Amino acid sequence: MKKHLEECAQSVLDGDQDKAEELAELTLKDSLPVLEVIEHGFVSGIREVGRLWEDGVLFLPELVMGAEAMKKAMEILQPALEASSEKQEKAGHVIIGTIEGDIHDIGKTLVATMLSANGFEITDLGADVPVADFVDEAEKKNADCIAISALLTTTMPGQKKVIDELENRSIRKKVRVLVGGAPCDEDWAEQIGADGYAGDAVAAVALVKRLLKKG
C-alpha cells in the first residue's frame, strides 16, 4: 500500500497522466481504500508540486501537467468514492463553488463529492463563480448551506462578498456559509463572519453535519 501511495504521488509529480490513470484503475481493481489513496497519494503529489513550484524548482507548465494528472486520477476515483459511502436520507442542500477569479477546482470538487457521498444534495457551480451566482442559486434552490472555495489570497475577499450579498438580500440567517481552500483558516472565517472553516474534505463533511443539525 505504501508503495502504491508513493507511486500515485510520483505520477502527479511527473505530470504523467497515463500513469496516474493506470494507478487509479489499479486502486479500484485491487479494492484499495479510495479516500486514503486520494488524500495520501495523489493529493500529497499535487501539494509537493505546489511546494516545488513555489521554490522555483518547477515551472508553470509542470504545475499544469501535475494538475492534469491529478484530475485524470480523480475522474476515475470520484464515482467510486461516491458509491462506496453510505447514503442516508437527504441531509440538506449545499451550493458549492470556487469564487470568482479563481480557477482552482480540485479541492472544491473533492469536498462536493464527499458531501454528496454523505447524503447531501449538491449544486456544484464549478470554478470562477461570480458572487451573485452563489446567492441567486441559494435563493432558487432554498439551500441550507453555501460552501465557498478560494485558493488564492487575491480571491479570498470574494468569500466575504458572498456573505455581504446574503446580508443585502436579508437572507443571511437562512443560509450557513462555510469557507475553505489552502489560504483560509479559522481566523479568516471568523473575521468575515462565516459560520465555519474546514481544512479538508472529511472535516468539511463533519462541519456541514454539525452546522445543519436540526434542533
Could you count the other beta carbons within 10 Å of the beta carbon of residue 113?
22
Taking the least distance from each CB to ligand B12, the nearer of 19 and 97 is 97
Minimum Å distance from CB 6 to ligand B12?
A: 17
Ranges of beta strands (E only) in 99-205 are 121-124, 145-149, 176-180, 196-197
Amino acid present at 155: T
Minimum Å distance from CB 156 to ligand B12?
A: 8
Please state, in angstroms and rounded to a whole number, the distance separating the CA atoms of residues 113 and 61: 27
Taking the least distance from each CB to ligand B12, the nearer of 73 and 110 is 110
Minimum Å distance from CB 9 to ligand B12?
A: 12
Which residues lie below 8 Å from residue 108, measured CB to CB, with a gap of 6+? Answer: 96, 97, 98, 124, 127, 147, 149, 181
Minimum Å distance from CB 88 to ligand B12?
A: 20
Map residue 214 onto helix, strand or coil.
Answer: coil
Binding site for ligand B12 (CB under 6 A): 43, 46-47, 49-50, 53-54, 63-64, 67, 101-108, 110-111, 147-149, 151-154, 178-183, 198-201, 204
Please state, in angstroms and rounded to a whole number, the distance separating the CA atoms of residues 149 and 180: 5
Taking the least distance from each CB to ligand B12, the nearer of 7 and 29 is 7
Taking the least distance from each CB to ligand B12, the nearer of 64 and 83 is 64
Taking the least distance from each CB to ligand B12, the nearer of 29 and 182 is 182
Minimum Å distance from CB 114 to ligand B12?
A: 8
Which residues lie below 8 Å from residue 37, measured CB to CB, with a gap of 6+? Answer: 4, 5, 8, 24, 27, 77
